[in-house]
Amino acid sequence: MIFRRKIKAKHRPKDGLSRTENLISQPHTKHRVFNNPDVLTRGWYPVCASGEILKNEAKSFRIAKQRVVLFRSESNTLKALDAFCPHLGADLGNGRVVGENIQCYFHQWEFGGDGCLKKIPCQPELNESFNKVKNLSYPVKELYGHIWVYSHPEAAHSMLKPSGLEQSDVSAYYFGEVELFAHHHVMMANGVDLQHFATVHDLDIKFDFDIDENNDGTFIWRLKGKIPDDNFKGRLARFLLGDEAEYHVKFGGGSVVTISYGVNAKIFGKPVPTLNVLWGCLPNDNGLSRVRIFFVTKKRYGLIGRLKSAVLHVLTVGLLVMLRDEDIEAFPNMRFNTHRLIKADTSLGRFIQLIDKCELSDWAGINDS
């Protein structure tokens, strides 16, 4: 039943210590990438809301062990560079924007959005001989009202849009940031953990799935299954949606996931839009992660269009809260371990294999453990 559990998980500590516990009696399987806090994948990371950096402003942020400066130039172009000034290492986030460049506060060296040193205003005779000085620059994108930075100088894929909306203009409602009880790969895996529908959500749908694996760090699951009629939840779902449920999960670079619920759904025989949630993840230093949650719809115009989007957002909140409140009970103090994957975990195992193939970013720094 939907309300069978008391939601207590939010009162439990999120300290990440389970990684260090029971290591002798219950050894931990360490993966190359999956659930590994020592590495960071090449992917898009949500840095801040668009409004946090206005025209002619700069600010630096930390992602894993990397500090990156974002600045918005006079022509309103966003740029992302390594944050420490190549001269003596001042944080360029304390600098000021001059035209299309960022000027370091300390000795006023100026860098363009490509990271190249453009001029040294107070030592102009050095301009020529120092024109090879360069900071790394990173792809940056504004989408869903947020600024996203790619953790490598070239992006292998564009920022994710939910399944079916790839070619559409989209709008999003930002639901907020949540601190997870686990590494974000564990949260992502939950979307394709097919056993837990029966055990956690009381909905024993036997999903079949296929996976499109792209060679740009993105992959997509398409899952379809018969809705059972052996309990109230199943019968209600069948009454509303028909016999089958379909959903799609898209993963990008090990840092972003979108789930489209109710793909091809019909209510009383009429097609209805899918409900799309997107999670953009950020690792913390303690092996746990934070996640920013967005509800995404096709961009609609006019009063009726906006009203329709608002209704879809409200429905998505309801769905997400219901699923999350059931899922969240599993995670406190979990030390996700993959010693005994069984046949029913095939989908989960495939996810771990694919995440383990992700390219790594230098932003995890040098492992000093």
CB of 196 to ligand FES, least distance (A): 51
User: Cα-flanking dihedrals φ and ψ of residue 280, to 5°?
Assistant: -110, 125
In this complex, which beta carbon is closest to ligand FES, that of residue 122 or of residue 303? 122
Judge contact between 187 and 292, C-beta under 8 A.
Answer: no
CA distance 233 to 248: 21
In this complex, which beta carbon is closest to ligand FES, that of residue 106 or of residue 207? 106
In this complex, which beta carbon is closest to ligand FES, that of residue 97 or of residue 354? 97
202 binds Fe ion (CB under 5 A): no
CA distance 120 to 123: 5
CB of 124 to ligand FES, least distance (A): 14
Number of residues that make up the chain: 369
CB of 7 to Fe ion, least distance (A): 14
Q: Which does 87 bind (CB under 5 to 8 A by kind): ligand FES, Fe ion, none?
A: ligand FES
Residues that bind ligand FES (CB under 6 A): 85, 87-88, 90, 104, 106-107, 109
Q: Which does 327 bind (CB under 5 to 8 A by kind): Fe ion, ligand FES, none?
A: Fe ion
In this complex, which beta carbon is closest to ligand FES, that of residue 104 or of residue 263? 104
Burial label for 127, CB within 10 Å (0-12, 13-18, 19+), is middle
246 binds Fe ion (CB under 5 A): no
The correct pick among 100, 202, 327, 345 for binding Fe ion (CB under 5 A) is 327
Q: Which does 90 bind (CB under 5 to 8 A by kind): ligand FES, Fe ion, none?
A: ligand FES
Q: For residue 48, give Cα distances in angstroms to 181, 188, 296, 356.
A: 22, 21, 17, 27
In this complex, which beta carbon is closest to ligand FES, that of residue 88 or of residue 310? 88
329 binds Fe ion (CB under 5 A): no
Taking residues 119 to 158 in sequence order and writing x for each that binds Fe ion by CB under 5 A, - otherwise, the string is: ----------------------------------------
Residues that bind Fe ion (CB under 5 A): 323, 327
